[in-house]
Amino acid sequence: MPYPPQPLSFSSAPSSRPVVLGVDLTSAGARPGAHRARGPIPPRPFDGERFLQLVRAADRGLLDLVTLDEDFLLHPGRGQVTGRLDTVVAAARAARVTAGVGLVAAVDTVHVEAAHAAVALSSVDRASSGRAGWQAVRQTAVPEPDEAWSSRVELGIQSVNRVWTGRPGTGSGAVELDAEGRFRVDHDGIRFAIRGRQADGGGSLAPTRPPVVVRVRSAASAALAGRTADVVRIAVTDAAHAVRLRRLVRDSALAAGRDPEEVRVLAEVYVVLAAERASARARLELVEALEGTEPGRGAFVVADTPDELAVLLADWAAAGAADGFLLRPASLSSDLDAITGHLVPALQRAGLFRTERTARTLRASLGLPDAEAAPRSLPTGRLLSA
């Protein structure tokens, strides 16, 4: 059914600054089956070509970034996972077939050493000419209080930044390579290799330091994000809560001596889009029946038309709830098509989104200042499948 364009009616004056717009493609990876009310859902195999088609669609739609969260896997997995670089492998592959969209990979610094993560992410940044981003995560077998989680994530961010900037410290550049100049990461029976080489003495580890993305869950993680993050993900169910979290992040940035305007806060929105509101809500009910009653997992859930979603995003931005939005499509194919083919034009008509891509790097696309990595001779990685 076609989506006829409608004049947008805002409840408040639209924000004068264009919004940041991204899409989360985590569910494009294979994930372990979960037991639902209707029985077990078997694991889905990873379809690499379909994944690349989705990323290319986001690229053609002028979106700022694509994120691959910590649940992304190239295969369903068996039992305990001892290491994760799947997001980096996928981002490296997507870098070759895209021209402007940012590629944000979630990598934890528990199962992957910080130096290894830094080198791998720098490889993606080189391959994409500065379009890589890193979502800092910490995966543990036992849930821990957010204060402890934030403290440990901050240590990981500091370690990775030491490699990127060349500052001395424990783990800075501590990438141990074998005689052939590579190290291996074993991931549940599938092996990936990162082949290292010595960069020229005048070269830098990465074209630009990849933006750091942090997910905010509480006041503790908001403080962490203000100190360390370039991009902040918040999952909230109402604009008032988003305003409070964004204010906490910006206050923390200011207290740390940073310019709050150089931190982008993105609100997560789980979207089910259709030409008519009734159709969208009927599809949401189907999703809830299959996936559980909380498919948004804490994010704001919208089942509506692209034009109504555009109005909601504009109102949130005008209220100071977010600098942009990270959309999580309920159906990767149909909802991503609605985002790029109908939501983006609606925002463009309202003057809230660009009509062409002019930025060459993810930092520039987000309106962030350059953060050059210090020139140094360190091994840089080229991701290979063994």
Range of the domain at 30: 20-355
Alpha-carbon gap, residue 85 to 124, rounded angstroms: 12
Average pLDDT score over residue span 235-244: 95
Q: Give the least confident one: 182-186, 304-308, 310-314.
A: 182-186
On whether residue 47 sits in a domain, the answer given is yes
Mean pLDDT is lowest, of 15-29, 265-279, 296-310, 341-355, for 15-29
What average pLDDT does range 349-364 have in this prediction? Answer: 94
With bands split at pLDDT 50, 70 and 90, how would you rate the model's confidence at 190? very low
CA 335 to mean position of chain CA atoms: 18
pLDDT at 179 exceeding the cut of 90: no
The reported pLDDT for the residue numbered 113 is: 84
Does residue 366 lie within any of the structural domains? no
Band (149; pLDDT cuts 50, 70, 90): confident
State pTM to two decimals.
0.83
Strand partners, 184: 193
Mean pLDDT of 153-182: 68
Helices 146-165, 114-127: axis angle to 10 degrees equals 60
Is position 256 within any domain?
yes
205 located within any domain: yes
Radius of gyration, CA atoms only, the chain: 20
**What pLDDT was estimated at residue 13?**
58
Alpha-carbon separation of residue 78 from 82, 180, 193 (angstroms): 11, 30, 20
Q: What pLDDT was estimated at residue 6?
A: 61
Instruction: Kindly report, residue by residue over 122-144, the tens digit of the pLDDT.
Output: 999 999 999 999 999 877 667 78
CA distance 119 to 195: 10
pLDDT at position 365: 95
Give residue 7's pLDDT: 59
Q: What CATH number did the domain enclosing 127 receive? A: 3.20.20.30
Q: pLDDT by residue (tens digit) across 45-64?
A: 667 889 999 999 999 999 99
pLDDT of residue 76 exceeding 90, the answer is no
| pLDDT reported for residue 218 | 87
Is 50 exceeded by the pLDDT of residue 171?
no
Asked whether the predicted pLDDT for residue 357 surpasses 60, the reply is yes
| Residue 310 within a domain | yes
In this model, does residue 11 exceed pLDDT 70? Answer: no
CB atoms within 10 A of CB 246: 25
Sign of the four-CA dihedral 333, 335, 340, 345: positive
The pLDDT assigned to 208 comes to 75
Residue 385 resides in a domain: no
Average pLDDT over residues 209-227: 93
360 in a structural domain: no
Number of folded domains that form the chain: 1
Give the pLDDT mean for 168-172: 46
Q: Beta partners for 375?
A: 204
Supply the pLDDT for residue 328. 96
- Mean confidence (pLDDT) of the chain: 81
Q: Which of 108-112, 183-187, 347-351 has the lowest mean pLDDT?
A: 183-187
Establish if 340 belongs to a structural domain: yes
Looking at 127-136, 171-180, 260-269, 332-341, which range is the least confident one? 171-180
pLDDT confidence bin for 279, thresholds 50/70/90: very high
331-341: average pLDDT: 94
Given a cut of 80, whether residue 98 has pLDDT beyond it is yes
Lowest mean per-residue pLDDT among 6-20, 198-212, 239-253, 299-313: 198-212
